[in-house]
A and B are shown apart, each in its own frame.
Chain A
Amino acid sequence: MDFFKRHFFVALSAVLGLIIIAYVGVQGNLQLLFGVVVPYLAALIFLEGVIYRVIQWARSPVPFRIPTTAAQGRSLPWIKRNLGEKLDNPADTPHLIGRMALEVFAFRSLFRNLRTELVKDPDNPEGARLIHWSYKWLWLGAIAFHYAFLVVILRHLRFFTEPTMGVVLMLDKMDGFFQFFTPAVYLSGVVLVAAVGYLLFRRITNPTLRYISLAADYFPLLLILAIGLTGILLRYFFKTDIVAVKELAIGLVTLHPKLPANLSALFYVHLFLVCALFAYFPFSKLMHAPGVFMSPTRNLTCNNRWVMHVNPWNYPVKFHSYAEYEDTFREPMIEAGIPVEKEQ
């Protein structure tokens, strides 16, 4: 098997394996394990793991201030900068916060994305030329995926709160705005599956992406796809007992876990996949979510020349001093009329 197949099929088998484990487990009456123990364990691993990883990063200092300056910097007072430039090359904290907000909420850097292609050009002596055009599909896919996922997660809060928060209900209503199908189809679910599908599709079909992708890239996509699909099945096709789900969820969050009797195996599969995602999160590339906040090329103000940055491990280095230099070149310097410190 080649590199791509190995990595893809390992990831696919892992997801299928998780599904089978949950299904078989529930058939074997391990509801307590999959309904209570695993969710608690997953939540614990997620929280502790994320905190641990962030602390691990934070333990290494940021020796130099190295922000990527993505626009004109602060300069002479009459060189005016528009808001976009001030955000892309932030000279103060408010604009830095703006830059980070744009990065986190709008994927600013990805929005810059271009595609460069080599096209045949017979008029050109070299026979070809490069063209660069704005390419927003990756940005669109990424932003659709992340926001859909966020809405889906927020929507699920209705299972965990009693009475359900007004915001969540409102979101629920907006999400089902189109009133299509019964129960009303949630837009977020459709967008989530479509966006994950797109991200997976491009990873598999684009030769360069396929070349660089690891099992660790396919696995989260396939896992989230499976979560989305089982969720859709539970809502629209093999309708699950929502009251029972809520009973389980409330029991979990109030630390008085109760196992309702009438939950399907499919539900446990869905829940187990979600738990797997949470437990996997701290050990994977999904840590890009907290990581982006700590990226030194983005989260530092571009003020090197007027605010000193301190390197905690700065150490003295040996360099060739002027005195040594003059000792070597004193004679020719005097001859050439270059001033010296010592005449001999």
Chain B
Amino acid sequence: MAKVPTPAELLPGLSYEPPEKGWMDVKPDFRPGTYCNPASPKWMEWINYPYPAARSVPDDEWALPQDWKEIVLQGMDDRLKRFRSLKLFFDICVRCGACADKCHFFLGTGDPKNMPVLRAELLRSVYRRYFKTIGRVLSEIAGARDLTEDVIKEWFFYLYQCTICRRCSLFCPYGIDMAEMTLLGRELLASVGLNIDWAMASVAQCYDKGSHIGAPPQAFKDMVDFLAEENERVTGITTTPSYNRKGAEVLFVMPSGDYFADPGTFTMMGYLLLFEHIGLDYTLSTYAAEGGNFGWFISHEMGKRLNAKIYAEAKRLGVKWILGGECGHMWRVCNQYMSTWWGPVDFLEKPVSPITGTRFENATVHKMVHISEFTADLIHHGKLNLDPQRNAHIKLTFHDSCNTARGMGILEEPRYIINNVLPEGNFVEMPPNTIREKAFCCGSSSGINANENMELRMQGGFPRANAVRFVHEKYGVNHLGCICALDRATLPTLLEYWVPEVGITGISELVGNALIFPDEIERTTDLRDRDLVGFGELAEEAGEEEE
């Protein structure tokens, strides 16, 4: 792994001035630390993806199939016919530049090809050359260029420097969405055998095991049972999840990040405590044990193939509706595609909270409820016994995940929960231009949270981290909250690099901390075994000091 420069080394070299040479003449600089490794043939064979081969980015030869050019152009033609978005977004950009400084990768790397407008031109120039008369005739002066191996390499480099976060699309006067073009561009790359290893490995594991970490059913059960035991140790409350249980009212689907790695595991503990607290009749599934959908980072079709398990399992188990955990792209996929892929979903019922009786009117067709909606509703109806003081050691700011913010519109629910589980004054927002629908991405989403591209990830996450630093210094914020498992996987690394004083927490973890059970043991620590402020021995000591 390439050595990652320190923050103090990284920033002085950052400039937003473009180079002298025109962009068509600049080749990508494949420096170690800035690119993702191509997918190992093992994973591609596993899920039957075309043209598996051992590839290495620094090599001149990328082992493209003989007729790669025809495949790519045919694929582009096909997608232009199937996606109005692609055709329109190729045609109507006026290059006004409004998107340029909205991309976290541009702000972090200063590479002009990371301006969404130019990243799109990388694809658009080929479209003009082969699908537009003017481009065929005038070539470069019409912004058109030949499809060469260098162009393909450039696509591979820059389409995996886009996290599909849609911040650019928000500011575009025509709503041109780079995310859509990145996804379709990645499909084209995949059609000639170019995928990235981190995403492909996750997809392969998800495909037949159930989660991207490749945990078989018994291992999944072990992990969750362990977290239940942890709950019991800390709170004295037995939380007993069931697995693959037919006839449960609700199927709970969470991202796998929530049960296998800190700090996601604490969020999982929070879910279990919450369900225990309200006596929810729910089951987990070892088959649909992954809400996160790495397939969608590769192609629409692979997204659909992985997403299939959720409804299939809900149907098999005969549950009434589905509850979804804290995950960003899982929810973008569920919101934007799921009912279109599989609908009508007549084997499930319209979701109703068994505790409050609330009918989730916004989920009547796709029959899946977000945990933040569900929890906010419980709190609103006074169904949770909460002690916010148990989160007094946490000074929080909230990171809106791109997917739930700009691909769904969940902004208020988590904030409502936060305000009810934290003591007053312990929640502060980051600057308004960096949150809510304008939130900056974590910089490592969409399958690029690998290790080999760490420098790039730290650059891409710089705008997010910079806003965190601001509230950390101004208000003493020590935790960044989020409702996204990829955030919980990538932000700890990012903040360790830029703002090491700030930790990451899921919102359900905070709920778990705050829940009061009638038969609990005396609580002196939070779910992470950190001492609570004003409880137990510490409180007594503090009391003595006052005397």
Contact = CB atoms under 8 A, between A and B. Distances in A.
Interface of A: 2-4, 6-7, 10, 53, 56-66, 68-79, 88-89, 103, 107, 109-110, 112-118, 124-130, 132-134, 138, 142, 206-217, 283, 285, 287-288, 291-292, 294-298, 302, 304-311, 313-314, 317-322, 324-326, 328-329, 332-333, 335-340
A3 B22 CA distance: 5
B395 interface: no
Interface of B: 7-8, 10-12, 14, 16-18, 20-25, 80-88, 91-98, 100-102, 107, 112, 115, 117-118, 121, 134, 140-143, 166, 169-177, 180, 207-208, 210, 216-218, 221-222, 243-246, 286-287, 300-301, 304-306, 308-309, 312-313, 316, 335-337, 339-341, 343-344, 358, 360-366, 368, 373, 376-377, 380, 405-413, 416, 431, 433-434, 436-438, 462-463, 466-467, 469-470, 498
A118 B14 contact: yes
Contacts of A133: 433
When A and B form their complex, which 7 residue pairs have the shortest distance between CB atoms, in order from nearest?
A73-B409, A3-B22, A69-B409, A291-B92, A297-B175, A319-B308, A132-B433
A227 to B, nearest CB: 18
Contact of A75 (B118, B301, B336, B413): B413
A284 to B, nearest CB: 9
Contact of A288 (B102, B174, B210): B174
B363 A125 contact: no
B166 A78 contact: no
Given A126-B10, A285-B94, A317-B301, 4 more contacts: A75-B409, A129-B469, A211-B112, A305-B363
A305 B84 contact: no
Q: Which of B82, B175, B339, B358 has the most CB atoms of chain A within a 10 A radius of its CB?
A: B175
B2 to A, nearest CB: 20
A64 B337 contact: yes
25 contacts: A57-B84, A57-B88, A64-B300, A65-B340, A66-B85, A69-B437, A103-B173, A112-B171, A116-B107, A128-B11, A130-B463, A206-B97, A208-B115, A212-B97, A283-B134, A287-B91, A291-B88, A296-B85, A304-B335, A306-B365, A308-B339, A308-B340, A317-B301, A317-B305, A336-B218
B170 A291 contact: no
Contact of B180 (A66, A313, A317): A66
Contacts of A112: 170-171, 438
Contacts of B377: 76
Nearest to B101: A116
A103 B176 CA distance: 13
Nearest to B12: A127
A308 B365 contact: yes
Query: B-side binding surface: helix, strand, loop or mixed?
Result: helix
A240 to B, nearest CB: 32
A207 B469 CA distance: 30
Contacts of A6: 140-141
A134 B438 CA distance: 12
Given A71-B409, A285-B92, A309-B340, A216 B143 contact: yes
B174 A298 contact: yes
Nearest to A299: B175
A336 B92 CA distance: 57
B73 to A, nearest CB: 17
B83 A63 contact: yes
Q: Which of A59, A112, A212, A292 has the most CB atoms of chain B within a 10 A radius of its CB?
A: A212
A77 to B, nearest CB: 8
A1 B312 CA distance: 61
A324 B141 CA distance: 55
A66 B470 CA distance: 33
Contacts of B463: 116, 130
Contact of A78 (B96, B243, B380): B380
A4 B340 CA distance: 45
A319 B309 contact: yes
A339 B243 contact: yes
B342 to A, nearest CB: 9
A113 B171 contact: yes
B77 to A, nearest CB: 11
B411 A72 contact: yes
A79 to B, nearest CB: 5
A292 B173 contact: yes
A128 B25 CA distance: 31
Nearest to A132: B433
A127 B221 contact: no
Contact of A332 (B16, B93, B216, B312): B216
Contacts of A71: 409, 411, 436-437
B313 A109 contact: no
Given A208-B97, A212-B117, A311-B340, A79 B312 contact: no
Given A113-B98, A308-B365, A320-B208, A216 B408 contact: no
A72 B466 contact: no
A304 B339 contact: yes
Given A296-B84, A306-B365, A325-B210, A68 B92 contact: no
A8 to B, nearest CB: 11
A132 B437 contact: no
Nearest to B92: A291
A306 B363 contact: yes
Nearest to A213: B95
A64 B94 contact: no
A125 to B, nearest CB: 6
Contacts of B177: 66, 68, 297
B88 A294 contact: yes
B141 A68 contact: no
Contacts of A88: 437
B214 to A, nearest CB: 12
A127 B9 CA distance: 10
A332 B337 CA distance: 34
A287 B208 CA distance: 46
A126 B498 contact: yes
A68 B166 contact: yes
B170 A68 contact: yes
B115 A317 contact: no
A145 to B, nearest CB: 11
Contacts of A117: 101
Contact of B142 (A215, A329, A340): A215
A305 B85 CA distance: 21
Contacts of B368: 305
Contacts of B245: 339
Contacts of A142: 96, 173
Contacts of B360: 76
Given A212-B115, A214-B143, A333 B286 contact: yes
A62 B84 contact: yes
Contacts of B344: 308
Given A113-B171, A215-B142, A306 B361 contact: yes
